[in-house]
Amino acid sequence: MENIAELEKHFGYVFKNKALLIEALTHRSFYHENPDKSTDHNERLEFLGDSVLGLVIVEYLFFSDKKFTESVMAKIKSYLVKESVLSDVANSISLGKYLRLGKGEEASGGRSKKSLLADAVEAFLGAVYLDGSYKKVRELILRLFREKIDVIMHSNELYDFKTELQEKTQLLFGTLPEYRVIKQEGEEHKKIFTIEVFIKGKKFGKGTGKSKKEAQAFAAEEALLQLLSDSDQSTMF
């Protein structure tokens, strides 16, 4: 019980039903080896927690000022719920030391396994959802993940703007965007490219970069924002 109180302090949530927390910390290896000490393992809670986590992340992205498209939200969510990110969250609160593991899993270093830690985080979130409310689990998720969410939201690394624009233009207009190099500056090994992107002959964006690929990406990003703005005003063509 001391360990449980310590973990609750780390997470910032105190369980009304301690059995839910114990279940969330119970790996199936412990459950199968100690049927007299556990009523269930954490895989059902893990499944529930995965869905709750995804909902909270997408809801946060949906209401952000950036007005992400569905595919960008999907990419960000996919990144944030991957094993390495979840295990990093688990390590930040030393979750591994509280898990109930079978002897074999313990001996093989289960407390530091990324897959096991990621599953335990999801199980814990599922338990909080059942024990408290959506509001409580949302507060907890944003406390644990907000910094990671905000970093990804303001990073271009996950976004393939050219693919995103191509998918949009094919869906909306049945055509592909056209990129035109309008300027090259600088010495041969230090060139700066300026590229404009056109959709059905109309310019939608301009980008500048140290390579054509980079300039095209910036142009595509600007075009996506323009498409969003035009669709809001119903003035695309």
Instruction: Supply the pLDDT for residue 235.
Output: 52
**Strand ranges in 90-199 using DSSP code E only, listed in sequence order:** 178-185, 192-199
Specify the pairing of strand 192-199 against strand 178-185. antiparallel
Instruction: Supply the pLDDT for residue 76.
Output: 87
Number of domains present in the structure of the chain: 2
Rounded Cα–Cα distance for residues 17 and 127 (Å): 9
Closest CA to 126 of 49, 52, 53: 49
Instruction: Supply the pLDDT for residue 151.
Output: 85
Residues carrying an active site annotation: 50, 122
| 118 and 176 both lie in a single domain | no
| 92 and 131 both lie in a single domain | yes
| 117 and 175 both lie in a single domain | no
Angle of helix 18-25 relative to helix 114-131, nearest 10 degrees? 160
153, 173, 201: which is the final residue of a domain? 153
Q: What is the strand order of the sheet 192-199 is part of?
A: 178-185, 192-199, 202-209
| 122 and 173 both lie in a single domain | no
| 146 and 37 both lie in a single domain | yes
Rounded Cα–Cα distance for residues 194 and 219 (Å): 9
Instruction: Supply the pLDDT for residue 233.
Output: 47
| 117 and 165 both lie in a single domain | no
| 62 and 168 both lie in a single domain | no
| 110 and 173 both lie in a single domain | no
Instruction: Supply the pLDDT for residue 228.
Output: 78
Instruction: Supply the pLDDT for residue 157.
Output: 60
Residues of the chain with pLDDT under 70: 1-2, 156-159, 230-237
Q: Which domain holds residue 115?
A: 2-153
Q: What is the DSSP letter of 225?
A: H
| 149 and 165 both lie in a single domain | no
| 165 and 130 both lie in a single domain | no
Instruction: Supply the pLDDT for residue 158.
Output: 60
Percent with pLDDT over 70 in the chain:
94
153, 170, 199: which is the final residue of a domain? 153
* Other C-beta atoms lying within 10 Å of the C-beta of residue 169: 22
Q: Say if CB 139 and CB 13 are below 8 A apart.
A: no
